[in-house]
């Protein structure tokens, strides 16, 4: 079941002069393919050049899509991914997106870049996963959505918990940004947005919940030997 939060662009705390913006932002969350981390979060200030391997899927108004692989663009802060209809870059603050084809959506799979999305600003509270810093849900920056009309939905899925503790509900592996409800059916042009990313303390430290290996009880090998012995005795009796 989705939780939905509607945010008017007029109330975005990081936007500058948003009086002309007509964009409504929906924030949705779902469990999705739940993941678990053992070593938790290591860096709450992830830079663009640290997300190598993150997969981005761009969907277009003609029904086509393409998969992009994120890579570092320099050794300092910048990373990005490019396709036939979109260029995406990120430094230390947010994603700069330039769509040259009508784009209906972007799916970011941050776990493939050893990172997660952190949505909660309330650091150190019951609503905040331990070891994460202050998070930020999807929002446009620098009034870059001033010419957009309609609704943009940011849907987070792949909820993440720390081993031994229940998921709080502020950390996710995936974010899908849906532009299809904008006037014109999608995004064409440039926008600048952010959604906070935190790096994992240990690369590759995410396991699908419920699929982790369960150690065998120490007594199980002896029990199997015993069952084998019983089977041998039965065969002897039959003979």
Please tell me the distance from the alpha carbon of residue 168 to that of residue 3, in angstroms, as a whole number.
14
Question: Which residue range(s) make up the domain with 73?
Answer: 3-238
Which of 1, 117, 115, 98 is CA-nearest to residue 50? 115
Q: How many domains does the chain have?
A: 1
CA torsion 68-71-74-80 (nearest 10°) is 30
For 184, the token pair is 């014109």
Q: What string of pLDDT tens digits covers the 239 residues of the chain?
A: 434 443 333 333 233 233 345 799 999 999 999 999 999 888 778 999 999 999 999 999 999 999 999 999 999 999 999 999 999 999 998 999 999 999 999 999 999 999 999 998 776 677 788 888 789 999 999 999 999 999 999 999 999 999 999 999 999 999 999 999 999 999 999 999 999 999 999 999 999 996 443 333 433 333 333 434 434 444 444 44
Query: Whole-model pTM?
Result: 0.79
CB-based contact 95:141 (threshold 8 Å): no
- The residues facing 171 across adjacent strands are 118
User: How far from chain centre, in Å, is Cα 232?
Assistant: 54
Tell me the three state secondary structure of residue 225.
Answer: helix
Please tell me the distance from the alpha carbon of residue 55 to that of residue 140, in angstroms, as a whole number.
21
Tell me the three state secondary structure of residue 184.
Answer: coil
């Amino acid at each position: 079941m989705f939780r939905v939060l509607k945010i008017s662009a007029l109330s975005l705390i990081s936007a500058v002069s948003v009086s002309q913006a007509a964009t409504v932002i929906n924030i949705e969350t779902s469990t999705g393919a739940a993941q678990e981390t053992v070593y938790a979060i290591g860096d709450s200030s992830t830079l663009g050049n640290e997300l190598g391997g993150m997969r981005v899927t761009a969907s277009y108004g003609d029904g086509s899509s393409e998969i992009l692989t994120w890579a570092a663009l320099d050794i300092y802060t910048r990373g990005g991914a490019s396709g036939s209809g979109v260029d995406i870059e990120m430094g230390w603050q947010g994603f700069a997106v330039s769509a040259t084809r009508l784009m209906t959506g972007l799916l970011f799979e941050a776990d493939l870049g050893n990172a997660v999305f952190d949505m909660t600003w309330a650091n150190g509270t019951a609503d905040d996963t331990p070891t994460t810093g202050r998070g930020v849900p999807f929002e446009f920056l620098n009034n870059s959505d001033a010419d957009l009309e309609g609704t943009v939905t940011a849907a987070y899925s792949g909820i993440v918990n720390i081993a031994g503790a229940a998921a709080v509900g502020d950390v996710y592996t995936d974010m899908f940004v849906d532009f299809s409800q904008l006037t014109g059916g999608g995004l064409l042009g440039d926008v600048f947005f952010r959604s906070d990313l935190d790096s994992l303390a240990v690369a590759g430290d995410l396991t699908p919940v419920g699929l982790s290996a369960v150690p065998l009880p120490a007594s199980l090998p002896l029990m199997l030997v015993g069952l084998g012995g019983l089977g041998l005795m039965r065969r002897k009796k039959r003979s």
